[in-house]
Amino acid sequence: MPSPGLSDFLSWFPSWLISVFDVVLVVILVYVVIRLLGEPQSRTRWIIQGFIILVATLLVTIYLSQLLQLQLLQFVLEKMLIGSAVGIVVILQSEFRRFLEQLGRGELRQLFPSSSNDKLQPDNVLDQILDAVRELSQKRIGALLLLETNEPIDPSQFRSPGVTLNAEISSELIQTLFQTTTALHDGAVILRGSRIAAAAVILPLTEKSLSRQLGTRHRAAIGMTERISDCLCIVVSEETGSISLAEQGTLQRPLTRSRLRELLELRFSPTVERETVAQDFGRLTREIGSQGKVLLKRSFRLLSPKSHRKK
């Protein structure tokens, strides 16, 4: 029970305001959970969102069963709610383990990764990538580069997560990784911001029927960009040395170094990025505003003295 001082303090606030504050806290908690455990376009995030919808449905049904005095249905739904909570912990045990480990180490900044640090830098880093692609193309060394354009991709999207590197991007290192004499040449190299995140990553293949001139690297590039829209794949053909760029399941080939630079600069342009963020933020603000108005109207109706008189 709240202390007398706290109850006296809360009595100054209208009941509808406390209810709205309660809803706001729940929304913030849901957002924090999704932010901590899920990334955009990842299977983990969809699982969390599905779990939240399931819990909300169960809570509403339990409330209705209490009003209608359906004791058996209420008992079953409460057990389903507990089972759902246990099930989500089992399903996301690796994510919870990583979260608790980062929390124990005090790595609070990594719990809320900044998307600005995960953007591809359009200056020196881009030059290093283009130099490496040009050299690999001239020497006809097969290569597959995956460039993350938004949040880090969930490793569950890969057939094999490969080997974690977390090394600074350089033309020499990229060329070395794809040398056939190295152990990490088979697979894709993941570029995250100004770092090489991983190598020897096996990507999912597309199920489309493609030309025989396109090999496994091209099929992997198309398959990956079909699943994740916020990424690009650069492919260097081992047979012809031609350069290709895959985005959203489509392949552009063959490309010159200058044309590849134009496409990458257009994709990672700060102006385009700012416009996209502004549009997304504006859309999110409008949605929150409209939902907030609806929520306030319903709160006023439920908590108004007239509704209590009718009851």
Last-in-domain residue among 71, 97, 112: 112
For residues 51 and 140, state if they share a domain.
no
pLDDT at 272 over 60: no
State residue 279's pLDDT score: 47
Half-sphere exposure of 88 (CA within 13 A, CB side): 20
Q: Are residues 192 and 68 in the same domain?
A: no
- In the chain, at which residue ranges do the beta strands (DSSP E only) sit? 143-148, 163-168, 188-192, 195-201, 231-236, 243-247, 250-255
Backbone angles phi, psi at 193, to 5 degrees: 65, -125
Q: How confident is the model at residue 141 (pLDDT cuts 50, 70, 90)?
A: very high
Total of domains in the chain: 2
The arithmetic mean of pLDDT across residues 65-84, rounded, is: 82
292 domain residue, yes or no: no
Residues 126 and 256 in one domain: yes
pLDDT, one tens digit per residue, over 12-67 is 666 666 666 666 776 677 666 666 555 544 566 677 777 778 878 888 888 888 88
pLDDT greater than 90 at residue 7: no
What are the residues facing 214 on neighbouring strands? none
Q: Are residues 35 and 130 in the same domain?
A: no
Same domain for 49 and 134? no
Label residue 83 by pLDDT band (50, 70, 90): confident
Does 222 lie in the same domain as 191?
yes
Out of 92, 112, 132, pick the residue that ends a domain: 112
Q: Which of 1-10, 73-82, 271-280 has the lowest mean pLDDT?
A: 271-280
Residues 46 and 155 in one domain: no
Range of 94's domain? 15-112
Classify residue 57: in a domain, yes or no. yes
Residues 62, 86 within the same domain? yes
Which of 73, 95, 112 is a domain's end point? 112
User: Is 6 among the domain residues?
Assistant: no
Measured N-to-C along each axis, helices 15-37 and 43-67 cross at an angle, to the nearest 10 degrees, of 150
Segment among 27-41, 198-212, 235-249 with least mean pLDDT:
27-41
| pLDDT of res. 198 | 93
Q: Are residues 237 and 149 in the same domain?
A: yes
Residues 107 and 144 in one domain: no
Contact call for residues 233 and 191 (beta carbons, < 8 A): no
Q: Is residue 291 part of a domain?
A: no
Nearest to 219 by CA among 251, 179, 180: 251
For residue 275, the model assigns a pLDDT of 40
Give me 139's structure tokens: 């020497």
- Measure the N-to-C terminal CA separation of the chain; round to a whole number of Å: 28
Residue 303 lies in a domain: no
128 lies in the same domain as 75: no
- Residue 35 within any structural domain of the chain: yes
Same domain for 123 and 261: yes
CATH number at residue 209: 3.40.1700.10
* C-alpha R_g of the chain: 26
pLDDT for 145 beyond 60: yes
